[in-house]
Structure 1
Amino acid sequence: MNEELTVIIPVYNEEESLPAFFEEFDRLISTSEMPLKGLLVNDGSRDTSLAMIKEKCANSPAYDYISFDRNYGLSAAIKAGFDHCTTSLVGYIDADLQTHPSDFQLYLPYFPEYDMVNGIRSKRQDSIVKKLSSKFANAYRRFMINDGITDTCCPLKIMKTEYARKMPFFTGMHRFMPALVQLQGGQVKQVPITHYPRHAGTSKYHLLNRLIGPFFDTLAFRWMRSRYIRYRVAERNR
């Protein structure tokens, strides 16, 4: 198996979740048939997250980190991870353990046949407000862009790095990664995974940014897609 995987782990004030996350991700590293490492992206945390990240990276060669000078948001953290990835595959997971690192093992057999694997969170372990807002946002997005993706914001993804690097990224585009792979002509596989209650800490999202943000981001995506340039060279002289 020649593929290697880098998993981007955005971190924003996750000091309560990180110890358990490191334990589970270490277990994935030790059991995975594919070589992999974690790339922690500190998104301007104001707690002790950065100190914990530095300590982990100093003691484990399987982890690297990037730290922002302030909080830029999830899209920026993922984009920075894409920019610094040196492996053939790149993944993404949140540090709150609502999706489990071990489920990455379910994705690996689909490469290289597919260009991206995206999860579908089964039996969501969220509040009723979070469930309803997510369901509405997903339905609205599918109606507007017709991408066929059930759970576009599932925080457990793997894709070929060549597709990740070509994504036209701006704020909010983390919600459309499967559609952005499809825009390049890539094939996306969807795989059901388990969803868990938040291990510790609190969610950084609320009702307004779960509805208002996706509404405008979907309009932005439709505008971008209508003007997206894609071509194939038939011939060249050298």
Structure 2
Amino acid sequence: MNDHPLASGEPAPVVSIVVPVRNEQDNIVPLIAEIAKALDGRWVYEIIYVNDGSTDATAERLSGEMQVRKNLRHIRHAASSGQSAAVRTGVRAARGRIVATLDGDGQNNPGFLPELVGAIEKGGERIGLAAGQRVGRKDTGFKKLQSRVANGVRNAILRDGTRDTGCGLKAFRREVFLALPYFDGLHRFLPALVRREGFDVAYVDVIDRPRHSGVSNYGFFDRLWIGIMDLAGVWWLIRRKKATPVATEVN
């Protein structure tokens, strides 16, 4: 799906920013402006919004922004398919070799994108993922408690060395992401799966902030049991991974 045509003379983007959204009409314009402020003059980049079946004015707001921002792309799912599916759609469509993601509700500050992308560039082939780690979280006490419990259980079982996999701010090389086994919920297990492929993970502390407007599209009880099954599946994948054999071509 990485075949979006470039205009004549238009340089290919080095970085693709993927933003999955569902019903975030009031957060579209301010977040795009923040992304541009963070990245303008640093890299040639594109912004890919994956509209995951929104029923509000999200599509109209994106269409309006596309009139003035030629590096903005809008991909729309006919029906909501979930965050992992939206991220994968965006990564497959990306033209940059480095992809960064952030949530579309405004809680992820785009000001940290340069540090995440820079960690991938500086790490070379060794670093497969740069993961944001939230500090000063602005969620409710219950939501922070459930995150601590979920992260603790996940880390104890997978030993992925990550205190926070729920942060939407991440950067990775496109080909590394597309080599990972895909399943719904993939975005919550990226550190473990990237390590499974033999890459290291870099970490960047990011300051959390309240969402700009609207309400969260993701609940706790509707994903609890699915998360438990996903955790078991990722544990199985890690246990079944075999070392890549050393191969030499014979002439």
Q: What interval of TM-score do these two structures reach, taking the shorter chain for normalisation?
A: over 0.9
Deviation at 1:237, TM superposition (A): 3.0
Per-residue Cα deviation, 1:190-225 (whole angstroms, up to 9, x for no partner): 111100011100011223135333222111211222
Pick closer, same or farther for the CA change 1:232–1:6 going to 2, 3 Å. farther
Q: Which amino acid aligns with 1:40?
A: Y
- Separation of aligned partners in 1, 2:213 and 2:243: 43
Is structure 2 residue 21 aligned with structure 1 residue 11? Answer: yes
Whether the 8 Å contact between 2:13 and 2:95 is mirrored in structure 1 is no
Q: Counterpart of 1:76?
A: 85
Whether the 8 Å contact between 2:99 and 2:172 is mirrored in structure 1 is yes
- Separation of aligned partners in 1, 2:166 and 2:192: 11
Whether the 8 Å contact between 1:93 and 1:156 is mirrored in structure 2 is yes
Per-residue Cα deviation, 1:51-99 (whole angstroms, up to 9, x for no partner): 2122222321111121111000001001111211221101110111111
Q: How does 1:136-215 map to 2 (within 5 A)?
A: 136-209=149-222, 211-215=224-228
5+ residue gaps, structure 1, are none
Q: 2:37 aligns with which of 13, 24, 27?
A: 27
Whether the 8 Å contact between 2:113 and 2:169 is mirrored in structure 1 is yes
Q: Counterpart of 2:237?
A: 224
Deviation at 1:107, TM superposition (A): 2.0
Whether the 8 Å contact between 1:43 and 1:68 is mirrored in structure 2 is yes
Whether the 8 Å contact between 1:118 and 1:188 is mirrored in structure 2 is yes
Q: Which amino acid aligns with 2:19?
A: I
Q: Counterpart of 2:48?
A: 39
Whether the 8 Å contact between 1:11 and 1:94 is mirrored in structure 2 is yes
For the residue of structure 1 that corresponds to 2:147, the secondary structure is helix
Q: 1:98 aligns with which of 107, 110, 131?
A: 107
Deviation at 1:233, TM superposition (A): 4.1
For the residue of structure 2 that corresponds to 1:153, the secondary structure is coil
Deviation at 1:230, TM superposition (A): 5.1
- Flag as ranges the 4+ runs of structure 1 deviating above 4 A: none
Per-residue Cα deviation, 1:119-175 (whole angstroms, up to 9, x for no partner): 110011001111111111100100111110111121100011121110111111111
- Separation of aligned partners in 1, 2:29 and 2:43: 24
What is the root-mean-square deviation of aligned Cα atoms in Å? 1.8
Q: Which amino acid aligns with 1:8?
A: V
- Separation of aligned partners in 1, 2:131 and 2:246: 30
Deviates most, 221-230 or 84-93: 221-230
For the residue of structure 2 that corresponds to 1:219, the secondary structure is helix
Pick closer, same or farther for the CA change 1:11–1:182 going to 2, 3 Å. same
- Separation of aligned partners in 1, 2:214 and 2:52: 16
Q: Which amino acid aligns with 1:95?
A: G
Is structure 2 residue 134 aligned with structure 1 residue 121? Answer: yes
5+ residue gaps, structure 2, are 1-11
> What percent identity do the matched residue pairs reach?
28
Deviates most, 225-234 or 109-118: 225-234
Per-residue Cα deviation, 1:30-63 (whole angstroms, up to 9, x for no partner): 25x2222211101000111012122222321111
Equivalenced residues, count: 236
Is structure 2 residue 52 aligned with structure 1 residue 52? Answer: no
For the residue of structure 2 that corresponds to 1:237, the secondary structure is coil
- Separation of aligned partners in 1, 2:143 and 2:153: 15
